[in-house]
Amino acid sequence: MQTRKTARALLFDKQGRLLLVHMHDPNVAAANGEVAPDAYWVTIGGEIDEGEDIFTAVTREIAEETGHTSVRLGPPVWYAEHVLNVHGEPRLFQETFVLAFTEEESLSDAAWTEDERRVIKSLKWWDADELYASRDLFFPTSLKENLLPIFDGIYPATVLRIEA
């Protein structure tokens, strides 16, 4: 099985809101082959390129997906592993989530790839109340459970292993 190391950003703006991506990719399915029926929300991020460390990758992903080039990175806070079927082939995703902060609010899709344009529906800044009131589907599935202390400015002393 192919492994995909992924850098994911928990990107917060100056108002303490978290940026999430609303997307749907019919070419990605759960390990059991089930494709999400509707769009879902995920954090900014993507595959770590050869030669990149986690911080370089997450900085690049933020710039590509948002246009933000002035970000302050915090520590990695979460790690998750899960199997997804991508174009019918199983892949082990190894995801590291890094805190990131920006003063910018505007967003740019100028660096999106054609694949990103095909699957991304929108980007949205979420405050804690709005996120916890939402019945939308979020990935990782434990996002809300693990995010509450982070919204309060409480970060884990070591990277937490979370449910994807």
Give the model confidence (pLDDT) of 40-86 as tens digits. 999 999 999 999 999 999 999 999 999 999 999 999 999 999 999 99
Q: What is the pLDDT of residue 125?
A: 98
The β-bridge partners of 43 are 20
Domain of 6, CATH number, reads: 3.90.79.10
CA distance from start to end of the chain:
18
**pLDDT tens for each residue of 118-160:** 999 999 999 999 999 999 999 999 999 999 999 999 999 999 9
Using the structure block, give the residue that is written with the tokens 């892949």: 91
Q: Show Cβ contacts of residue 74 under 8 Å, excluding neighbours closer than 6 positions.
A: 98, 99, 100, 101, 155
Rounded to whole angstroms, the Cα distance separating 93 from 16 reads 28
Q: Which of 93, 87, 105, 75 is nearest to 139 (CA)?
A: 93
- Prediction pTM value: 0.96
The dihedrals phi and psi of 138, each to the nearest 5 degrees, come to -125, 145
How many structural domains comprise the chain? 1
Burial, 65: exposed, middle or buried (Cβ in 10 Å; 0-12, 13-18, 19+)? buried
Q: Which domain holds residue 64?
A: 2-161
